[in-house]
Amino acid sequence: MNIAIIVGVSEYSKPGNNLPGCKKDAEIIFNILSKTEKFEDILYVNEYSPSAIIKAQFTDFITKHKEDSIQELFFYYTGHGDFKNDEFYYILSDYEASRRNQTTLQNGEIDSLFKTLSPALVIKVIDACKSGQAYVKDTEAISKYFSETQTRFNNCYFLNSSLRNQSSYQSADISDFTQSFVDSIKARGITEIRYKDIIDYISDAFEGNPYQTPFFVIQAEYTEKFCYINEALNGYLQNLSILTPATAPKNKEEITLLERIQEDAAEYLTKDETIKLLEKIKDDIKKLAVPRKLDEIFTLEVKFFEDYDVVINKDTIGKWLDDNTHQFFARSKTKLLPKNQFGIRSALRFNFTSDVLLDRNDYDVIRDGFDLEVEVPYKSIEITLNSKYPNVDGYTAIIVYLVSQKAIRFFYFITNVVSVNWDVKKINRNINWISSEYSMKDQTSIESEMKTIFQSLLAQVDEDLKEKFPDSKTPSS
């Protein structure tokens, strides 16, 4: 028989950690698996549940099938993920860093449970949303880890949304990776689809995306089928609406050209509305407060800048602008770097202007960050936790953004600030940019994103303090 386990974790006990798209992720995957009529039994968890209850459900489900001959075991998870001490953790709703083993599902533990069933084929689909944000830190270690776990099974497919020190992105409706998984099935029509077909589709969908690169581990013959797309499944996929409108949509033939234009125009913001939104973001950030347990150790400082002087590694954003089709009012910046007579680039840099005639063969064009092409009240944001003690680092979150008439895209990183000497502090330049994009009209999600960034900063601080002072008691918050 074939069995499946679907776990969606969208609600978390800690504020700012919720992932609304994950609930829809799990719901859609459950409906797809059910309509394939391939799986005789499905464990479906998609509500806020204490970790103890989920673990009991897992154990009971595995125990129930110990005497069965399992051909295929399909496991799907969507939620936060954590890689630490050579183990991958599936973060459950009541997660606490101080009770990591109790409030997570450990990948090794799940593998051990699966092995008791001796399945002929194991599939794991892991959409670990925001896994790169204060979690996954070592690309090589985690890639090696998942490659090694395949040895626990005779045949397996592991599909991971982003395991290369990145985040997995989502809207309020669905995660990007799960959307691609669904699209891969939908694109096939009424026919059969192999797991390799799904992997190929997802790989192509994320080709050239510098912020999310799915990671796959395969130990199989590439012939294994996910399903035959029957009439019921095909009908469900074709009618699937990720965004649920307030009223039933008109048939396409009933929508006039003018109505289409008016509907799309409603998503646009004027210049004044955009300035108002940016000022609202500024006001929201100014209201942020450090919880009492950290307020005794740090002071919070928030600054808004009209330039990018505090921003490091700006070339990453310039590259994103060059590599992606977009409508943002922004451009990458370049400089010309002279070569000497031996073809080696010198240290001299200067801006190129059209008034100077140069032989391009004597220069290399290099990317030199980016800039907005519109006037805005501020360009960069710095949220800093200044340490009150010499043996504790400070921490900072740097946020920049791109705007268009319809969308806003945030780029940010979180890092620590170390003391060079008594008078000088220096930012740790080993950073990873994280990015997210929202409709300009979706002010609720934009406000939530600012809170999420701040909560990620606090989580990073809390995690590092627990590692540095492992035996200390955490003050009550």
Contact, 74 vs 153, CB < 8 A? Answer: no
Which token pair is 36?
Answer: 């394939």
3-state secondary structure (DSSP) of residue 397: strand
Q: Do 283 and 306 belong to one domain? A: yes
Domain CATH for 307? 3.90.1150
Q: Looking at residues 129-141, what average pLDDT do you find?
A: 40
Q: Do 281 and 324 belong to one domain? A: no
Nearest partner of 470 among 63, 85, 17, 55, judged by Cα: 85
Nearest partner of 81 among 204, 14, 167, judged by Cα: 167
Kindly report, residue by residue over 225-270, the tens digit of the pLDDT. Answer: 999 988 889 888 888 865 433 333 444 445 677 877 887 788 899 9
Domain assignment present for residue 181? The answer is: yes
Confidence of residue 33 (pLDDT cuts 50, 70, 90): very high
Going from the C-alpha of 412 to that of each of 116, 225, 283, 438, 456, the distances in angstroms are 44, 40, 18, 14, 11
Q: Evaluate if residue 418 carries a pLDDT over 50.
A: yes
Q: Evaluate if residue 294 carries a pLDDT over 60.
A: yes
Q: Do 72 and 176 belong to one domain? A: yes
The parent domain of residue 138 ranges over 2-239
Q: Do 101 and 200 belong to one domain? A: yes
- Reported residue count of the chain is 477
Domain final residue pick, 218, 239, 260: 239
Q: What is the pTM of this model?
A: 0.51
Nearest partner of 403 among 311, 282, 321, judged by Cα: 321
Q: Return d(Cα 204, Cα 206) in angstroms, integer.
A: 6
User: 244-253, 359-368, 378-387: which range is least confident on average?
Assistant: 244-253
Domain assignment present for residue 440? The answer is: yes
Q: Evaluate if residue 184 carries a pLDDT over 50.
A: yes
Q: Do 74 and 87 belong to one domain? A: yes
Q: Looking at residues 160-180, what average pLDDT do you find?
A: 65
Confidence of residue 412 (pLDDT cuts 50, 70, 90): very high
Tracing tokens 């340490």 back to the chain, one arrives at 387
Q: Return d(Cα 337, Cα 321) in angstroms, integer.
A: 21
Nearest partner of 49 among 106, 90, 110, 2, judged by Cα: 90
**Residue type at position 449:** E
Q: Which residues pair with 409 in a beta bridge?
A: 402, 437
Domain assignment present for residue 282? The answer is: yes
Domain final residue pick, 239, 260, 284: 239
Q: Do 124 and 27 belong to one domain? A: yes
Q: Do 70 and 118 belong to one domain? A: yes
Contact, 145 vs 94, CB < 8 A? Answer: no
Q: Do 284 and 185 belong to one domain? A: no
Domain final residue pick, 353, 372, 391: 372
Radius of gyration of the chain (CA): 25
Q: Do 323 and 405 belong to one domain? A: no
Q: Return d(Cα 2, Cα 31) in angstroms, integer.
A: 16
Share of the chain above pLDDT 70, in %: 81
Nearest partner of 417 among 441, 403, 398, judged by Cα: 398
Number of domains in the chain: 3
Confidence of residue 188 (pLDDT cuts 50, 70, 90): confident
Q: Do 72 and 172 belong to one domain? A: yes
Domain assignment present for residue 367? The answer is: yes
Confidence (pLDDT) at 245: 35
Domain assignment present for residue 476? The answer is: no
Contact, 6 vs 44, CB < 8 A? Answer: yes
Q: Which residues pair with 410 in a beta bridge?
A: 401, 436
3-state secondary structure (DSSP) of residue 332: strand
Q: Do 276 and 169 belong to one domain? A: no
Share of the chain above pLDDT 90, in %: 44
Q: Looking at residues 373-397, what average pLDDT do you find?
A: 95
CA 344 distance to own-chain centroid: 39
Domain assignment present for residue 69? The answer is: yes
User: 176-185, 254-263, 356-365, 445-454: which range is least confident on average?
Assistant: 356-365
Q: Do 143 and 203 belong to one domain? A: yes
Domain assignment present for residue 249? The answer is: no
Q: For 330, what's the count of Cα atoms within 13 Å in the CB-facing half-sphere?
A: 28
CA 241 distance to own-chain centroid: 22
Domain CATH for 30? 3.40.50.1460
3-state secondary structure (DSSP) of residue 85: coil
Nearest partner of 428 among 438, 419, 418, 436, judged by Cα: 418
**Residue type at position 186:** K
User: 10-19, 297-306, 448-457: which range is least confident on average?
Assistant: 10-19
Going from the C-alpha of 200 to that of each of 128, 147, 226, 233, the distances in angstroms are 20, 19, 13, 21
Confidence (pLDDT) at 472: 61
Domain assignment present for residue 474? The answer is: no
Q: Which residues of 350-378 are buried (b: 16+ CB within 10 A; e: fewer)?
A: eeeeeeeeeeeeebeeebbbbbbeeeeeb
